[in-house]
Amino acid sequence: MSGQGSAEQVGVLKLTLHGQLVGYLAGFQGGRNILTFADRFKGDATRFTFSLVTHPAFPRAEKKYTLKTSFIFFPTLPKICPAL
């Protein structure tokens, strides 16, 4: 092995809500998708609700869904909106 790996194409989508940066969704060529939240968005107690499953009032929000970690999905996008 020469130490040179093959490059994987990545598409990045900047997510904003009412002009506030929410985070980024990165889609990799192999189908893996990573959703990360901006630190400022995570720390803002008055932020707009991005998804009901990440809202503090949602049942088990602390255990199952948290803004503290990245969501990694393969090969589909996260179900932020059940209608999608």
pTM: 0.65
Q: What is the pLDDT of residues 7-38, one digit of tens each?
A: 888 899 999 988 999 899 998 887 888 888 88
Percent with pLDDT over 70 in the chain = 60
For residue 17, tell me if it sits in a domain: yes
Segments of the chain assigned E as strands: 10-17, 20-28, 33-37, 71-73
For residue 3, tell me if it sits in a domain: no
Residue 32 structural domain = 10-73
pLDDT of residue 12: 94
For residue 1, tell me if it sits in a domain: no
State which amino acid sits at residue 50.
F
Q: Looking at the 3D structure of the chain, how many domains does it have? A: 1
CB 64 within 8 A of CB 55: no
CA–CA gap between residue 78 and residue 55 (Å, rounded)? 16
